[in-house]
Structure 1
Amino acid sequence: MTTNAIHSVLAMMKVTAQKAAGNVVTLSAPTTAGAGFISELNSSIKQINGMQVNAQRKAEKFELGMPGIALNDVIVEMQKASLALHFGIQINNKLINAYQEVMNMAV
């Protein structure tokens, strides 16, 4: 996930907190921030899936004995896919925690 997507989520959370506090909030482009975040989220999920598929294909090629595929390449690809998945899960957990914190704010 890019820094811009994270900043847009933080901006949306600040706006929600200000609205809950009763402050008047104006945004220059409210729809683009949300759409940008959704597109970044979808892109990140697709990228993680692509890394997992790539690692699986490389492992299958190694198992079939195709030339040019070394064990260390397979292990590196699998580790990259694993790290990307765990990072995505952590981002998901942080977003859920942030959402729950906003929802539990006193109005």
Structure 2
Amino acid sequence: MSNLLDRVGTTQNFNEETCGRVKDKKEKTFNVKFGERLRKALEEIDTLQEDADKLSKELAIGHNAPLHETMIALEKADISLRLFIQVRNKVVEAYREVMHMQF
């Protein structure tokens, strides 16, 4: 009987340690501010657009820029910008809803 209780106690300690690790990991990921995440996303979009512009200019001049890589870069930049605009629209919409709430 005591052997069974020892096993249960060991399992409980293991679960507490595991839960503690998961909690620490969650705290680290959610510590970044939302505005900081938006700023980083915007910087990444800017980099994607600069890369796409560079490739399209090289293609227009006649350098050896592969057409498929240029098109992929242009589409990545376009899709990223569209996604960012949709996120911005949702944030503005949520802000307006909160402003219209009555407490």
- What's the TM-score bracket when you normalise by the shorter of the two chains? 0.5 to 0.7
Specify which of 81, 85, 95 is matched with residue 81 of structure 2.
85
Instruction: Flag the structure with more relative contact order, 1 or 2, with Cα contacts below 8 A and sequence separation at least 6.
Output: 1
Give distance in 2, aligned partners of 1:65 and 1:41.
36
Q: Which runs of 5+ in 2 are unaligned?
A: 1-29
User: What's the offset of the Cα at 1:45?
Assistant: 0.7
Give distance in 2, aligned partners of 1:49 and 1:102.
30
RMSD value over aligned CA atoms? Answer: 1.7
Q: Which has the larger share of helix?
A: 2
Question: What letter is aligned with 1:91?
Answer: V
Give distance in 2, aligned partners of 1:41 and 1:75.
26
Runs of 4+ in 1 over 4 A off after TM superposition: none
Give distance in 2, aligned partners of 1:79 and 1:36.
29
Q: Which runs of 5+ in 1 are unaligned?
A: 1-31
Identity %: 27
